[in-house]
A and B are shown apart, each in its own frame.
Chain A
Amino acid sequence: MTTATIIQSLASGLLMGLLYGLIAVGLALIFGLMDVTNFAHGEFLMLAMYISFFLFAFFAIDPLLAAPLVAAAMFVFGAVIYLVVVRFAMRAKTNIGMVQIFTTFGLAILMRGLAQYFFTPDYRSITQSWLGGKTISLGGVFLPVPQLVGALVSIAAFGALYFFIKKTDFGRALEATREDAGAVALVGIDKNKVFALGWGLGGALVGLAGAIMAMFFYIYPDVGASFALIAYVTVALGGFGSVFGAFAGGIIVGLVEASTALLLPPSLKSVGIYAVYLLVVFIRPRGLFGSI
């Protein structure tokens, strides 16, 4: 193993990690807002990838151009899921945590079934996108262009999110609602509206990630499952609810995955991520940046 191989894999790991952060941030946002873990998050990603695929297959729109469209569609989808399903799960009087876990789990299974029914279980891929399959050499390190663009999109998205949360009225309403959902009602903020927008925003962010992923990854009904677990680990590493913890968590997960792949057989690369998760929560039971 030479230094060049190590740098090479760490660089790819970093890019992948930034993408993991983008995949996971919607989950962290929703959790921080209302203490709900969306166990259908992976299926949100799956849906976003299919939307990108069909935009490409039917309208020949490149995933890069389609990304804003996918994000917009997923914004609507996320808000609708909140209004139609999750809102009612929040009303449960008993076992509230359980109800949320299993409602979103049921939703995940339902979405997977619908995807199999309508899109068939076939593996699909976007073969001829602008960026797909291209690599670029930066100082001797070869980087796949889709992942590089994905990483840049991720950094931009986190930057925009930061601005959004700190500087806009809706962002402040979001922050206030997560602090105390009861009190905001007194100052005229509609809690349901904020939650719906939060779910929309979470959906839009994973939509963005899905469009990027569609450039270089196979698209099939179960694709969400493996990324979902990585997303939960990412969010938990950063500390549930910490939006910028997800950014750091993603980078750590990407680097750990790349290092594990260097040391162990490729089929065991996820073991490293899982082990780091356990190690972190055993030492800090609330994640790295979790405050609660």
Chain B
Amino acid sequence: MESFAQRRRRDLIVAFVLAALAACAPFVIKDVYVQNIMVLTLMYAALSQAWNILGGYCGQISLGHALYFGLGAYTTTLLFTKFGVLPWFGMLGGGTISALIAMALGYPTFRLRGHYFVIATIVIAEIGLLLFHNWDWAGAALGIDIPVRGDSWLRFQFTRSKLPFFYFALVFCCVAWLITWWLEDSKWGYWWRAVKDNPDAAESLGVVVFNSKMGAAAVSAFLTAIGGAFYAQFVSYIDPESVMSFQFSLLMALPAVLGGIGTLWGPVLGAVILIPLTELTRSFIGGSGRGVDLILYGTVIVLISLARPEGLIGLFSRKRKEVSR
């Protein structure tokens, strides 16, 4: 039986090897369509990792993370198109704004429990969506086109190749993973798991439940907004529906849930399975708008939730245990 410290060291090595392999992948896979799917997979893996910090480790199920994703996308885009601020600053600005808003919203909402909390997160994101729909300065329902001024790392715009986006998404995914890896063994990680398992007991043992939740929300929202800013640059056009709709909240939660909620590898595993599946069915059979993609997608979610409630990661740990025996 390996110790916790050994497991953590092994996780780090596995992550390094996987990241190195992923970095080499574009040399083998030249197809732009597949590269596009790889970018989205990495992005959702990172976003789901961010969601997992609040939803998985701390146990606060948010179905409103689209708000932070949209805030990241809008902050970067508005700062760039209205004031000429480079997207890199916009990205950090969006992250900071989202983290602050997450804490401001957390102040009243973290008192809520169970379904009341989940619905509050949905409702808050919907209010955000409706406000952006009606905010003329921010393009209202029409959205904003990001003017393309040629490939440049400075402006983080690339029209000819997907590769720069791929490498950014890879770094983003690795950073999100490393932050989770580091937090898992920090005092925060222990506080969060205590809050998730039994908030009352945690409180009585001296864990400041409220502050723990606030910390998780801030980190989670910051990373989610970075993802939103990246997505805006990647698609170079945003409108409220395309960056803040409920669908994004779901797509951030699902990989973690399917892969293994509150686990280090769950979000990555879930995204690697779910995102290509979504994209491939959408383009190959769902293109006619006949909903086959939704049918497949819904079936997978139902089956995995029923058959593997602890997530697909459970398959791996069981196999490993059998091998070590």
Contact = CB atoms under 8 A, between A and B. Distances in A.
Interface string B101-144: 00000001101111110111011101100110110000000000
Nearest to B55: A98
Given A95-B310, A274-B123, A108 B116 contact: no
A124 to B, nearest CB: 16
Contact of B130 (A85, A89, A97, A268): A268
B294 A116 contact: yes
Given A115-B291, A229-B123, A287 B310 contact: no
A158 interface: no
Given A106-B301, A109-B297, A99 B291 contact: no
B291 A116 contact: yes
A136 interface: no
A121 B120 CA distance: 30
Contact of A278 (B113, B123, B131, B296): B123
Contacts of B112: 281, 285
- Candidate in B120, B291, B295 with the most chain A CB atoms within 10 angstroms: B291
- Candidate in A85, A111, A121, A274 with the most chain B CB atoms within 10 angstroms: A274
Contacts of A282: 108-109, 111
A233 B298 contact: no
- Candidate in A113, A221, A271, A286 with the most chain B CB atoms within 10 angstroms: A113
Contact of A112 (B254, B289, B298): B298
A277 interface: yes
A277 B309 contact: no
Nearest to A91: B306
B238 interface: no
Given A105-B250, A117-B292, A267-B134, A110 B299 contact: yes
A92 interface: yes
Question: Secondary structure of the A side of the interface?
Answer: helix
B302 interface: yes
B170 interface: no
Interface in B266-288: none
A94 interface: yes
B293 A233 contact: no
A113 B295 contact: yes
B40 interface: no
A31 B297 CA distance: 26
A202 B44 CA distance: 36
- Candidate in A240, A278, A286 with the most chain B CB atoms within 10 angstroms: A278
B66 interface: no
A121 B289 contact: yes
A240 B120 CA distance: 13
A277 B123 contact: yes
A120 B299 CA distance: 19
A201 to B, nearest CB: 20
B119 A236 contact: yes
A202 to B, nearest CB: 16
B133 A240 contact: no
Contacts of A236: 115-116, 119
A275 interface: yes
Given A98-B61, A109-B298, A112-B291, A278 B124 contact: yes
Given A89-B305, A101-B61, A113 B115 contact: no
B305 A281 contact: no
Given A102-B257, A270-B126, A282-B108, A287 B306 contact: no
Contacts of A111: 298
B218 interface: no
B111 A285 contact: yes
A106 B302 contact: yes
Given A37-B115, A278-B124, A285-B116, A98 B290 contact: no
Interface string B240-262: 00000010001000100100010
B105 to A, nearest CB: 9
Given A95-B309, A285-B113, A113 B297 contact: yes
Contact of A271 (B115, B127, B254): B127
B315 interface: no
Contacts of B301: 102-103, 105-106, 109-110
A93 B123 contact: no
13 contacts: A85-B302, A85-B306, A103-B301, A109-B298, A110-B301, A110-B302, A112-B294, A113-B292, A117-B290, A121-B289, A265-B134, A278-B123, A285-B112
Interface of B: 61, 108-109, 111-116, 118-120, 122-124, 126-127, 130-131, 133-134, 246, 250, 254, 257, 261, 289-303, 305-306, 309-310
Given A120-B290, A236-B116, A268-B134, 17 more contacts: A85-B302, A88-B306, A98-B261, A98-B309, A101-B61, A103-B305, A109-B301, A110-B299, A110-B301, A116-B291, A233-B123, A236-B119, A274-B126, A282-B108, A282-B109, A286-B116, A287-B116
* 9 A-B pairs with the lowest CB-CB distances in the bound complex, closest first: A116-B291, A113-B294, A110-B298, A106-B301, A109-B298, A113-B295, A106-B302, A113-B291, A92-B309
